[in-house]
């Protein structure tokens, strides 16, 4: 009975307090990184599409 009371009281209030603080600052950072990453991804796709297309043309 003693261990049960300590376990339930300690993890319950500690879990919500810890993730709430780091989630707030991480949210805006993800938005900035996502915008930059999207631009790089578009360029990468274009480069990949050009390589196989050029190689197939002279072969056939």
Q: Total domain count for the chain?
A: 1
Q: Is residue 40 part of a domain?
A: yes
The pLDDT of residue 27 is 53
The pLDDT of residue 26 is 55
The pLDDT of residue 14 is 56
Tokens 């796709």 -> residue = 45
pTM of the full structure? 0.10
Q: Is residue 59 part of a domain?
A: no
Q: Is residue 41 part of a domain?
A: yes
- How far is Cα 48 from Cα 41, in angstroms, rounded to an integer? 11
Regions of the chain where pLDDT drops below 70: 1-60
**Residue 35 CB neighbours (<10 A):** 9
The pLDDT of residue 55 is 54
Instruction: Give the structural domain span for 40.
Output: 25-50
The pLDDT of residue 53 is 54
Q: Is residue 30 part of a domain?
A: yes
DSSP string computed for 8-60 = HHTHHHHHHHHHHHHHHHHHHHHHHHHHHHHHHHHHHHHHHHHHHHHHHHHH-
């Amino acid at each position: 009975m003693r261990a049960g009371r300590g376990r339930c009281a300690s993890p319950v209030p500690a879990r919500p307090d810890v993730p709430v603080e780091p989630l707030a600052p991480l949210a805006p950072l993800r938005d900035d990184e996502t915008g930059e990453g999207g631009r790089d991804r578009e360029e990468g796709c274009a480069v990949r599409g050009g390589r196989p297309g050029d190689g197939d043309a002279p072969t056939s």
